[in-house]
Structure 1
Amino acid sequence: MQKMKFNVKAENQGLAITAKAGKHQIVLDEGAQMGGKDTGPNPMQNVLASLASCENVTAHVVAKEIGFDLQALSFNITGVFDPRGFMGDHSVRPYFEEVTVEVKVTTTEPPERIAALQAEVESRCPVYTLLKAADVKLKDKWESA
């Protein structure tokens, strides 16, 4: 299998950025408290949304491989971030310290199969494993909806 390559082109308007990813356009911004105009999610919120999306895609791929009855997924993801690192305190890392992922799985499968799906997703999801490699504390709970 060939390696995949991704490209994003972006232009700013103040703190907002309009990124073009293929035929899609994404607007990221900051809220007024940071000097932005709140025209889109901030970059940290975007990371959490990307995690939900990536886990969703990975779960559907894995479910198909293992014959898992995956009807729907619902995500509630929270990240804890200490802004002092971003503001210049080099003793504090400038990214998430902890991310909590709560997933409700609509399925007829028993809890042990949900746990097996979760384990496989967490070992294969590119965004999840990126956060894990950055030593972000990941707290995960997958359960039947």
Structure 2
Amino acid sequence: MRQQIFEILIKPFYKSNQLNYKNQLSFSTQIKQMEDIQLRQYSIKSQSSQAQAKSITKSGFTVITDMQKKDGGNETGPSPVELLLSALVGCQNIVSRMIAKNLGFNINEISFDIVAERDHRGICSQPMIEDAPVSSGLFRIYGTAIVDTDGTQEQLTQVNEIVKKRSPVARMIVDSGCKIEIEWKKQE
């Protein structure tokens, strides 16, 4: 396993000396971290027809994404962006509970209400063979998380900052340049 990790993850970066994306750690420290990796893999198999994609997860779940009829879809499932938002709140839900437990309090329930924003020109500007004038990616996700907890508002604020770094989905979104501005509030 260690040799596989080296071949897949370390060797390609060895020449560039850029294992850490911000290059903040020494190269030897970065290699040590890669040797200690606890790799998790996620996989799906998917088929698509028109705007719909039907995916089967490795764990056996079926996920369908589609678009609204006005965008060429059949409305048989959420849009890919809606699914990303669901993945974000699902991941933040799980990771925030782990963080709260580690900090000595419990989270009973979280009610998320979030919105994502992007500039539609990033997808639709013409001609398609030229670069779009703006990114097609999300630039902001904002909203609220109302939390039923025995913790304090200060602890929830701390959880919110930690979860942006620890949640794999949130981290990927933040690293893409998208701002996550979800205000965590203790339920009254």
TM-score above 0.5: yes
Shift of 1:88: 3.6
Structure-2 separation of matches of 1:91 and 1:138: 23
- Specify the alignment match of 2:79 in structure 1: 42
Largest Rg, 1 or 2: 2
- Specify the alignment match of 1:33 in structure 2: 70
Identity score, percent? 23
Shift of 1:13: 2.1
- Specify the alignment match of 2:23 in structure 1: none
Structure-1 separation of matches of 2:99 and 2:181: 21
Structure-1 separation of matches of 2:104 and 2:150: 12
1:134 is aligned to 2:171: no
Alignment deviations for residues 44-68 of structure 1 (CA, whole Å, 9 cap, x no partner): 1111111100101111221222221
Q: TM-score, normalization: structure 1?
A: 0.94
From 116, 126, 136, the equivalent of 2:158 is 116
Q: TM-score, normalization: structure 2?
A: 0.73
Tell whether the 8 Å contact from 2:65 to 2:79 is kept in structure 1 after alignment: yes
Structure-1 separation of matches of 2:80 and 2:125: 18
- Specify the alignment match of 1:125 in structure 2: 167
| Structure 1 residues 61-140: aligned runs within 5 Å | 61-88=98-125, 90-140=132-182
**Which consecutive residues of structure 2, in runs of 5 or more, have no partner in the other structure?**
1-36, 127-131
**Higher relative contact order by CA 8 Å / sep ≥ 6: 1 or 2?**
1
Structure-1 separation of matches of 2:186 and 2:110: 9
Q: How many residues align?
A: 145
Structure-2 separation of matches of 1:106 and 1:137: 25
- Specify the alignment match of 2:48 in structure 1: 12
Shift of 1:9: 0.7
CA RMSD of aligned residues (A): 1.3
